Amino acid sequence: MSPRSQNVLDYPNEHTVFLVWKFKDGPDASEAFRKVSALVINLNKSADVRFPDVKASVVMGIGHDAWLNLGLPQPLPKELHPFTPIAGGKHTAVATDGDLHFHIRSAKQSFCIDAAYNISAILECAADCTVEIHGFRYWDSRSILGFVDGTENPTGESRAYFGMVGDEDPIYKGGSYLFVQKYLHDLKAWRSLPESEQERVIGRSKGYDIEMPDDVKPSNSHSALANAGDDRKIVRDNMPFGNVTSNEMGTYFIAYASTFSTVALMLTRMFVGEPEGNYDRILDFSTPHTGTLFFVPTFDMLSDFGG
């Protein structure tokens, strides 16, 4: 039988809650992890029955250190390791700790809030929540910078090919590498640019989301550097978030991939540059404050963990 994968291939929804948890020192982590693994399965089954039309789901990822400390199966997924910073001459993709990551999606915000509450009720005695982001769909799937986000996402059958582990790592087939970054944007600086210059930073038209021809698109544009080629894609599920009065507006970058090396190549192209020094100009307006790698096991493995 094929492994039952978590909902990593679902498309972005109207509402999202992202949670990152870090286990405290003490004996309670294993029992809390067992309970939350079972809860994730329960929440997804319940959503399928109760809310079949709102495309609600909860995806749980596990970090490298937690995988070891919880005594989960060995060997580890081939590319699961602590993320290390990727530093360019001007900008750095920072690395931050995280043991568990939850990606909660729904067309109804109520589901996201209730799911996050139930997860927190189990984990709060054994772990600290280090990141809580409430994302929202902005117009026609645009980032808060005003440009459509995710145009290069794979579709159809290729979505599974690029988003989930295949036969190259049979123990973890159907799982997925999950990488996340919390970006904050300097919107005042960004909005001071004329639209034509914003388009040169992104490499696409703002209104109609049309990619610039190669002989026009700047080599340091986002679309030129964040794309590692048609044979090396990832499944992005980015969401805008923010607080207007505090001017903390941003994008939660979230990537599901069959190999983390694909994500690492994209980050290197963006932060170090291609060639070196020709970094992604969007980084002059967007700063990552987190960066963590997780692995998303199949539902079958979660069932074993929660048994």
User: In angstroms, rounded to a whole number, what is the distance separating the alpha carbons of residues 193 and 174?
Assistant: 43
Active-site residue, from 10, 65, 128, 149 = 149
Q: How many CB atoms lie within 10 A of CB 31?
A: 12
Which two structure tokens, joined as six digits, stand for 135? 């994302």
* Rounded (10°) angle between helices 29-50 and 109-123: 160
Residue 132 pairs in a beta bridge with: 19
User: In angstroms, rounded to a whole number, what is the distance separating the alpha carbons of residues 232 and 139?
Assistant: 28
User: In angstroms, rounded to a whole number, what is the distance separating the alpha carbons of residues 298 and 300?
Assistant: 5
User: In angstroms, rounded to a whole number, what is the distance separating the alpha carbons of residues 275 and 269?
Assistant: 8
- Pair 234, 270: CB distance under 8 Å: no
φ/ψ of 146, rounded to 5, equals 100, 0
CA dihedral 170, 172, 173, 174 (to 10 degrees): 170
Half-sphere exposure of 231 (CA within 13 A, CB side): 0
Furthest-apart CA atoms within the chain: distance in Å: 59
Say whether 270 sits in a helix, a strand or coil.
helix
237 a catalytic residue: no
Phi-psi region of 113 (alpha: psi -120 to 50; beta: other; left: phi over 0): alpha
- Pair 100, 62: CB distance under 8 Å: yes
User: In angstroms, rounded to a whole number, what is the distance separating the alpha carbons of residues 289 and 291?
Assistant: 7
User: In angstroms, rounded to a whole number, what is the distance separating the alpha carbons of residues 302 and 39?
Assistant: 10
Which residues are known catalytic residues? Answer: 149
